[in-house]
Amino acid sequence: MATDAMGVSMSPTMSLAEAASTLAWPARGRVQSSPDVASRAIGGARRQNPGQDDARRAQSRALEMDLIREAQAGSRVAFDTLVRQYEHQVLRLALHLTGSEQDAEDIYQDAFLKAYRYIGNFRFECSFYTWIYRIVTNLCLDQLRRRKTRREDHAVVVDRTGDEIDILASVSDNRSFSNPARELDRKMLGAKIQAALGKLTPRERMVFELKHYQGLRLRTIGEMLNTTEETAKNTLFRATKKLRAQLAELR
Protein backbone atom coordinates (compact mmCIF):
# COMPACT_ATOMS: atom_id res chain seq x y z
CA MET A 1 0.00 0.00 0.00
CA ALA A 2 1.44 3.31 -1.10
CA THR A 3 0.43 6.82 -0.19
CA ASP A 4 0.61 9.65 -2.71
CA ALA A 5 1.23 13.31 -2.10
CA MET A 6 -2.40 13.87 -1.12
CA GLY A 7 -2.46 11.08 1.37
CA VAL A 8 -4.78 8.98 -0.79
CA SER A 9 -4.07 5.28 -0.66
CA MET A 10 -3.14 3.74 -3.98
CA SER A 11 -3.55 0.09 -4.77
CA PRO A 12 -3.84 -1.91 -8.01
CA THR A 13 -7.33 -3.06 -7.21
CA MET A 14 -9.27 -0.32 -9.00
CA SER A 15 -10.52 -1.33 -12.45
CA LEU A 16 -10.99 0.86 -15.49
CA ALA A 17 -14.74 0.37 -15.27
CA GLU A 18 -14.74 1.58 -11.70
CA ALA A 19 -12.68 4.55 -12.72
CA ALA A 20 -15.07 5.30 -15.57
CA SER A 21 -18.02 5.11 -13.29
CA THR A 22 -16.27 7.35 -10.79
CA LEU A 23 -15.90 10.00 -13.45
CA ALA A 24 -19.51 9.75 -14.55
CA TRP A 25 -21.08 9.17 -11.14
CA PRO A 26 -19.01 10.11 -8.17
CA ALA A 27 -18.07 7.06 -6.17
CA ARG A 28 -18.82 6.74 -2.55
CA GLY A 29 -15.50 5.29 -1.56
CA ARG A 30 -11.95 6.26 -2.14
CA VAL A 31 -10.48 5.94 -5.63
CA GLN A 32 -7.59 3.63 -6.16
CA SER A 33 -5.31 3.35 -9.16
CA SER A 34 -2.63 1.10 -10.57
CA PRO A 35 0.86 1.02 -9.10
CA ASP A 36 2.18 2.50 -12.32
CA VAL A 37 0.01 5.57 -11.98
CA ALA A 38 0.77 5.77 -8.29
CA SER A 39 4.47 5.79 -8.88
CA ARG A 40 4.08 8.53 -11.47
CA ALA A 41 1.85 10.54 -9.17
CA ILE A 42 4.56 10.55 -6.60
CA GLY A 43 6.74 12.09 -9.29
CA GLY A 44 9.94 10.48 -8.25
CA ALA A 45 9.67 11.79 -4.70
CA ARG A 46 10.30 8.32 -3.35
CA ARG A 47 13.76 7.42 -4.50
CA GLN A 48 16.13 5.00 -2.98
CA ASN A 49 19.69 6.11 -2.38
CA PRO A 50 19.27 9.70 -3.51
CA GLY A 51 22.97 10.37 -3.04
CA GLN A 52 23.92 7.66 -5.50
CA ASP A 53 21.31 8.91 -7.94
CA ASP A 54 22.68 12.45 -7.77
CA ALA A 55 26.25 11.28 -8.33
CA ARG A 56 25.20 9.15 -11.26
CA ARG A 57 23.18 11.99 -12.74
CA ALA A 58 26.07 14.44 -12.37
CA GLN A 59 28.42 11.99 -14.04
CA SER A 60 26.11 11.34 -16.96
CA ARG A 61 25.51 15.09 -17.34
CA ALA A 62 29.26 15.71 -17.48
CA LEU A 63 29.63 13.03 -20.14
CA GLU A 64 26.75 14.51 -22.06
CA MET A 65 28.31 17.97 -21.93
CA ASP A 66 31.52 16.55 -23.38
CA LEU A 67 29.52 14.95 -26.16
CA ILE A 68 27.73 18.20 -26.90
CA ARG A 69 31.01 20.11 -27.07
CA GLU A 70 32.44 17.56 -29.46
CA ALA A 71 29.30 17.73 -31.57
CA GLN A 72 29.56 21.52 -31.57
CA ALA A 73 33.11 21.13 -32.84
CA GLY A 74 31.70 19.10 -35.74
CA SER A 75 31.98 15.49 -34.53
CA ARG A 76 29.33 13.33 -36.20
CA VAL A 77 30.19 10.44 -33.89
CA ALA A 78 29.40 12.53 -30.81
CA PHE A 79 26.17 13.74 -32.35
CA ASP A 80 25.22 10.17 -33.24
CA THR A 81 25.77 9.16 -29.62
CA LEU A 82 23.45 11.94 -28.50
CA VAL A 83 20.85 10.83 -31.03
CA ARG A 84 21.00 7.24 -29.77
CA GLN A 85 20.61 8.51 -26.23
CA TYR A 86 17.35 10.31 -26.93
CA GLU A 87 15.85 8.71 -30.01
CA HIS A 88 13.61 6.29 -28.11
CA GLN A 89 12.12 9.09 -26.01
CA VAL A 90 11.64 11.30 -29.05
CA LEU A 91 9.91 8.58 -31.03
CA ARG A 92 7.80 7.50 -28.05
CA LEU A 93 6.54 11.05 -27.52
CA ALA A 94 5.93 11.73 -31.20
CA LEU A 95 4.21 8.39 -31.72
CA HIS A 96 1.91 8.84 -28.76
CA LEU A 97 1.04 12.40 -29.68
CA THR A 98 0.51 11.95 -33.38
CA GLY A 99 -0.63 8.33 -33.40
CA SER A 100 1.16 7.86 -36.69
CA GLU A 101 4.44 6.09 -37.28
CA GLN A 102 4.98 8.12 -40.40
CA ASP A 103 4.43 11.42 -38.60
CA ALA A 104 6.58 10.25 -35.67
CA GLU A 105 9.37 9.35 -38.08
CA ASP A 106 9.11 12.72 -39.80
CA ILE A 107 9.17 14.54 -36.48
CA TYR A 108 12.18 12.47 -35.40
CA GLN A 109 13.98 13.35 -38.62
CA ASP A 110 13.17 17.06 -38.48
CA ALA A 111 14.00 17.31 -34.79
CA PHE A 112 17.46 15.78 -35.04
CA LEU A 113 18.30 17.62 -38.26
CA LYS A 114 17.41 20.88 -36.50
CA ALA A 115 19.44 19.83 -33.50
CA TYR A 116 22.44 19.07 -35.73
CA ARG A 117 22.11 22.36 -37.55
CA TYR A 118 21.72 24.49 -34.44
CA ILE A 119 23.75 22.58 -31.87
CA GLY A 120 26.27 25.40 -32.06
CA ASN A 121 23.62 27.62 -30.48
CA PHE A 122 23.28 25.36 -27.47
CA ARG A 123 24.76 27.29 -24.55
CA PHE A 124 24.31 24.84 -21.67
CA GLU A 125 21.69 27.04 -20.03
CA CYS A 126 19.36 24.05 -19.82
CA SER A 127 19.86 20.32 -20.18
CA PHE A 128 20.22 18.87 -23.64
CA TYR A 129 17.20 16.75 -22.81
CA THR A 130 15.08 19.90 -22.34
CA TRP A 131 16.52 21.42 -25.47
CA ILE A 132 15.79 18.46 -27.73
CA TYR A 133 12.36 18.01 -26.17
CA ARG A 134 11.64 21.67 -26.87
CA ILE A 135 12.39 21.08 -30.54
CA VAL A 136 10.27 17.93 -30.60
CA THR A 137 7.32 19.48 -28.77
CA ASN A 138 7.33 22.44 -31.16
CA LEU A 139 7.28 20.11 -34.14
CA CYS A 140 4.53 18.03 -32.52
CA LEU A 141 2.51 21.17 -31.77
CA ASP A 142 2.80 22.17 -35.41
CA GLN A 143 1.64 18.71 -36.40
CA LEU A 144 -1.30 18.81 -33.96
CA ARG A 145 -2.34 22.25 -35.19
CA ARG A 146 -2.25 21.10 -38.79
CA ARG A 147 -4.31 18.13 -37.82
CA LYS A 148 -6.80 20.34 -35.97
CA THR A 149 -7.12 22.47 -39.05
CA ARG A 150 -7.80 19.40 -41.18
CA ARG A 151 -10.12 18.08 -38.42
CA GLU A 152 -8.55 14.69 -38.54
CA ASP A 153 -9.37 12.30 -35.80
CA HIS A 154 -6.95 9.50 -35.34
CA ALA A 155 -8.46 6.92 -33.13
CA VAL A 156 -5.85 4.38 -34.09
CA VAL A 157 -2.17 4.45 -34.92
CA VAL A 158 -1.33 4.35 -38.62
CA ASP A 159 1.91 2.73 -39.71
CA ARG A 160 4.01 3.91 -42.64
CA THR A 161 2.21 1.61 -45.08
CA GLY A 162 -1.09 3.14 -44.05
CA ASP A 163 -2.29 0.09 -42.11
CA GLU A 164 -4.03 0.77 -38.84
CA ILE A 165 -2.45 -0.55 -35.67
CA ASP A 166 -4.39 -0.95 -32.49
CA ILE A 167 -2.10 0.34 -29.81
CA LEU A 168 -4.17 -1.11 -27.06
CA ALA A 169 -3.94 -4.55 -28.57
CA SER A 170 -0.19 -4.43 -28.32
CA VAL A 171 -0.28 -3.77 -24.62
CA SER A 172 -0.98 -6.58 -22.23
CA ASP A 173 -3.48 -5.73 -19.55
CA ASN A 174 -2.50 -7.53 -16.41
CA ARG A 175 -5.66 -6.32 -14.76
CA SER A 176 -8.07 -7.85 -17.22
CA PHE A 177 -6.97 -11.42 -16.56
CA SER A 178 -7.34 -12.13 -20.26
CA ASN A 179 -11.05 -11.67 -20.03
CA PRO A 180 -12.16 -11.07 -23.67
CA ALA A 181 -15.09 -8.88 -22.65
CA ARG A 182 -12.90 -6.73 -20.49
CA GLU A 183 -10.29 -6.58 -23.22
CA LEU A 184 -12.88 -5.29 -25.62
CA ASP A 185 -14.09 -2.71 -23.13
CA ARG A 186 -10.55 -1.62 -22.59
CA LYS A 187 -9.88 -1.16 -26.29
CA MET A 188 -13.05 0.83 -26.71
CA LEU A 189 -12.20 2.95 -23.74
CA GLY A 190 -8.70 3.56 -25.08
CA ALA A 191 -10.13 4.76 -28.37
CA LYS A 192 -12.53 7.05 -26.53
CA ILE A 193 -9.74 8.51 -24.45
CA GLN A 194 -7.71 9.09 -27.56
CA ALA A 195 -10.66 10.87 -29.09
CA ALA A 196 -11.09 12.97 -25.95
CA LEU A 197 -7.41 13.87 -26.04
CA GLY A 198 -7.84 14.86 -29.67
CA LYS A 199 -10.40 17.45 -28.63
CA LEU A 200 -7.97 19.33 -26.41
CA THR A 201 -6.17 22.31 -27.85
CA PRO A 202 -2.67 21.42 -29.08
CA ARG A 203 -1.12 23.16 -26.12
CA GLU A 204 -3.38 21.48 -23.56
CA ARG A 205 -2.74 18.19 -25.25
CA MET A 206 0.99 18.77 -25.10
CA VAL A 207 1.02 19.73 -21.43
CA PHE A 208 -1.16 16.74 -20.50
CA GLU A 209 1.02 14.46 -22.60
CA LEU A 210 4.24 15.68 -21.04
CA LYS A 211 2.86 15.59 -17.51
CA HIS A 212 0.68 12.52 -17.50
CA TYR A 213 2.33 10.23 -19.99
CA GLN A 214 5.95 11.43 -19.97
CA GLY A 215 5.98 12.22 -16.25
CA LEU A 216 7.89 15.52 -16.59
CA ARG A 217 7.88 18.23 -13.95
CA LEU A 218 5.74 21.28 -14.67
CA ARG A 219 8.80 23.46 -14.44
CA THR A 220 10.50 21.47 -17.18
CA ILE A 221 7.34 21.54 -19.26
CA GLY A 222 7.26 25.31 -18.89
CA GLU A 223 10.86 25.54 -20.09
CA MET A 224 10.13 23.32 -23.07
CA LEU A 225 7.09 25.29 -24.10
CA ASN A 226 8.73 28.66 -23.45
CA THR A 227 6.29 29.52 -20.70
CA THR A 228 6.14 29.62 -16.93
CA GLU A 229 5.51 26.79 -14.52
CA GLU A 230 2.34 28.52 -13.38
CA THR A 231 0.98 28.72 -16.92
CA ALA A 232 1.78 25.06 -17.47
CA LYS A 233 -0.05 24.25 -14.24
CA ASN A 234 -3.11 26.20 -15.35
CA THR A 235 -3.03 24.52 -18.74
CA LEU A 236 -2.88 21.12 -17.07
CA PHE A 237 -5.86 22.06 -14.92
CA ARG A 238 -7.86 23.10 -17.98
CA ALA A 239 -6.88 19.91 -19.79
CA THR A 240 -8.01 17.67 -16.93
CA LYS A 241 -11.27 19.58 -16.66
CA LYS A 242 -11.98 19.19 -20.37
CA LEU A 243 -11.02 15.54 -20.36
CA ARG A 244 -13.28 14.83 -17.43
CA ALA A 245 -16.13 16.52 -19.21
CA GLN A 246 -15.43 14.60 -22.43
CA LEU A 247 -15.17 11.27 -20.68
CA ALA A 248 -18.29 11.90 -18.58
CA GLU A 249 -20.20 12.58 -21.78
CA LEU A 250 -18.92 9.37 -23.30
CA ARG A 251 -20.57 7.49 -20.53
Chain positions 148 to 177 lying near other proteins, rule: CB under 8 A, are 160, 167-168, 170-171
Q: How far is the CB of 17 from other proteins (least distance, A)?
A: 10
Q: Are 158 and 102 in contact (CB under 8 A)?
A: yes
Q: Are 134 and 222 in contact (CB under 8 A)?
A: no
Binding status of residue 178 toward other proteins by CB under 8 A: no
CB nearer to other proteins: pick between 18 and 64: 18
Binding status of residue 6 toward other proteins by CB under 8 A: yes
Which stretch, 51-59, 63-71, 77-85, 130-138, contacts other proteins (CB under 8 A)? Answer: 77-85
Name residues contacting other proteins, limited to 78-107 (CB under 8 A): 79-80, 83-84, 87-88, 91-92, 95-96, 101, 104-105
Q: Quick one: which of 3, 11, 60, 109 contacts other proteins (CB under 8 A)?
A: 109
Which stretch, 53-61, 62-70, 130-138, 206-214, contacts other proteins (CB under 8 A)? Answer: 206-214
* CA distance linking residue 240 with residue 196, whole number of Å: 11
Binding status of residue 128 toward other proteins by CB under 8 A: no
Binding status of residue 240 toward other proteins by CB under 8 A: yes
Binding status of residue 114 toward other proteins by CB under 8 A: no
Q: How far is the CB of 53 from other proteins (least distance, A)?
A: 17
Q: How far is the CB of 68 from other proteins (least distance, A)?
A: 13
Q: Quick one: which of 121, 161, 174, 178 contacts other proteins (CB under 8 A)?
A: 121
Among the listed residues 5, 13, 20, the one whose alpha carbon sits nearest the alpha carbon of residue 188: 20
Q: How far is the CB of 59 from other proteins (least distance, A)?
A: 26
Name residues contacting other proteins, limited to 27-66 (CB under 8 A): 27, 30-34, 36-37, 40-45
CB nearer to other proteins: pick between 23 and 138: 23
Q: Quick one: which of 68, 103, 112, 147 contacts other proteins (CB under 8 A)?
A: 112
Query: For residues 186-196, b (16+ Cβ closer than 10 Å) or e, as one string?
Result: bbebbebbbeb
CA atoms within 13 A on the CB side of 210: 29
Binding status of residue 69 toward other proteins by CB under 8 A: no
Binding status of residue 9 toward other proteins by CB under 8 A: no
Separation of first and last alpha carbons in the chain: 30
